Amino acid sequence: MSARPITDVLRHIAGGSLLDHASDQFAELVRAIDGNGGTGKLTLELSVKKASRGGAMLVTGKSVLKKPADEPMEAMLFATPEGNLVADDPRQQKLDLKRVESTDTPPADLKTA
């Protein structure tokens, strides 16, 4: 007699909710890795012990999800001589940029020679 597939046994634990929960966790893990990269882990733990009567076995299980950590947030800031951090490089000259109002005249067609 060959071994019965373990999924058949998992379907019996908590009326199948362990397997359903682990499947949901696996999908969550795949989405997290697809979105953020990294590595994650889904651990299924089964415990088996002999029942006190009748030759039955008590099987308990749990699933543990470890998703990859979120990417750290960062900002690029520049140090001032006073020891402060600012968004603009204090060693770089500021440009006096001005907005140019657009005209409603369409551009002329260029003629080629």
Residue-level pLDDT, tens digit, the chain, 113 residues: 799 999 999 999 999 999 999 999 999 999 999 988 889 999 999 999 999 888 899 999 999 999 998 777 789 988 988 998 999 888 888 888 898 888 777 777 777 77
pLDDT in the model for residue 104? 77
Quick check: helix, strand or coil at residue 3? coil
User: Which residues touch 98 (CB under 8 Å, ≥6 apart)?
Assistant: none
pLDDT of 52 reads 86
The residues, ordered by sequence, that sit 6+ positions from 51 with a Cβ below 8 Å of its Cβ are 57, 58
Q: In the prediction, which pLDDT does 36 show?
A: 84
DSSP string, 54-93: TT-EEEEEEEEEEPPPPPPP----EE-TTS-EESS-TTSP
Q: Between the CA atoms of 47, 50, 56 and 57, what dihedral angle is there, to the nearest 10 degrees?
A: 10
pLDDT at residue 23 in the model = 96
Residue 28, judged by CB atoms within 10 A of its CB (0-12, 13-18, 19+), counts as: middle
